Amino acid sequence: MKLDFPFAEVSEGAAHLLVPDIARRKGPGTAGPWPFYNPTMAVNRDLSAIVLAKWPGPLGSVLDGLAATGAWGIRMALETRADRVTFNDWSPEAIPLIRENVRRNGLAADVHRSDLRSSVREGRYDFVDVDPFGPPTPFLSSAFEGVKGSAGFGITATDTAVLCGTYPRACEKRYGARPLRSPQGAEIGLRILLGYCHRISEERNLRMRPILGFSAEHFLRALVMVSSGSASAPVGHVVRGGDGGLIAATAAERDAVGPLWLGSLGDAAVVHELQPSEWTSVVSARLLSLLKTECEMPPFFVTTDELAAREHRSPPRLDRFIEGLRAIGHQATRTHFHPRGVKTDAPPRECARLFRDLSPTGSTGDSRPAS
């Protein structure tokens, strides 16, 4: 096979791939004429493969809708219980590379060059992956339109600066929701994405159920089930309360954030069954362990940085703070959304009181975070 760009051989998970040998900067990357491959997205594919191995529905036919090099579709074929994988991409440069990678991994699969919006209207798939270069919003309406009965979706958003509050006007235009730039920004952004998915489901008399949602690197990822029939859903708005916590609000309230998903970010029954595979990286396995501990915790979290700033005290060690919350009868755990974040069912005032009790004696304005 002749490629019109330099390429390299890489292994990711169970897949052996040819990928463009193009220098990449750390982060979401820069679009170019070549099929896009970003090795930092391996954690996305690691976690998604683990979830699809335990997917609570059929996986007879799955679509890698924006396949690029074919890395994720090949991993779906090799690492999950998917019976038949179809690859799709609009780029004419991507199609021969996908076919070569499919061949190299000993697979037989259909490879199409088409607009994803057309592909999902024309075919019936049990699972569709939407992992674009940028926001997923241009594709979701068409994808959900094609649901007959039920279907699963993997949805990646790399426009995190928009969803997490750096560009609020863009978020309102793109997702119809107001974000909040804050330590909780990534969780709020993920919940805005899920809220958007819920709204387009509801418009089509469908119900949406998150199987697993998470944040890593420079992306937000949601794996959801969509099925026929409407149902009430935990979608609403929040505002920052006087004690620092995020509390329920109406859309009319000043500085209201949302609409956003306020329910669980995953199906606990599925999440607790997830296990790393032989192809899972150490980084991904650690993330999975943390996701399992926090999957049943309430929305949002507090950081010891915020408490230190409000209380004008240096923070105790994070583990000691968590153990203190548990000792007085509350649930508490670290969160993957922030390195100094704690998810807990303790009220904000109780968190502040314990923080003061555990704060090193004699601390004043120096609120540098403790690990």
- Token pair, residue 103, equals 């061949």
- Token pair, residue 36, equals 């896009």
Considering the domain delimited by 302-358, tell me its CATH architecture.
2-Layer Sandwich (3.30)
pTM of the shown model: 0.93
Provide the pLDDT confidence category of residue 364 given band limits of 50, 70 and 90: very low
- Backbone torsions φ then ψ of 179, nearest 5 degrees: -90, -175
Residue-level pLDDT at 24: 59
Which 8-state DSSP code applies to residue 105?
Answer: T
Q: How many CB atoms lie within 10 A of CB 10?
A: 16
Residues 6+ apart with CB under 8 A from 23: none
Can you tell me the mean pLDDT for 148-161? 95
Task: Decide which of 3.30.365.10, 3.40.640.10, 3.40.50.150, 3.40.50.300 is the CATH code for 12-26+39-294.
Answer: 3.40.50.150
Measure the CA dihedral 179/182/183/184, to 10°: -30
From 136-140, 141-145, 259-263, 304-308, the region with the lowest mean pLDDT? 141-145
Could you tell me the residue ranges of all domains in the chain?
12-26+39-294, 302-358
For the chain, give the mean pLDDT: 92
Which 8-state DSSP code applies to residue 201?
Answer: H
Q: Which helix (H) or strand (E) holds 315?
A: none
Nearest alpha-carbon partner for 204 in 155, 147, 154, 152: 147
Residue-level pLDDT at 27: 52
Task: Answer whether 36's CB lies under 8 Å from 133's CB.
Answer: yes
Q: What percent of the chain has pLDDT over 90?
A: 84
Return the amino acid letter for 335: T
Whole-angstrom distance, CA of residue 204 vs CA of residue 207: 9
Can you tell me the mean pLDDT for 236-257? 95
pLDDT digits (tens, 9 = 90+) for 172-223: 999 999 999 999 999 999 999 999 999 999 999 999 999 999 999 999 999 9
Whole-angstrom distance, CA of residue 201 vs CA of residue 195: 10
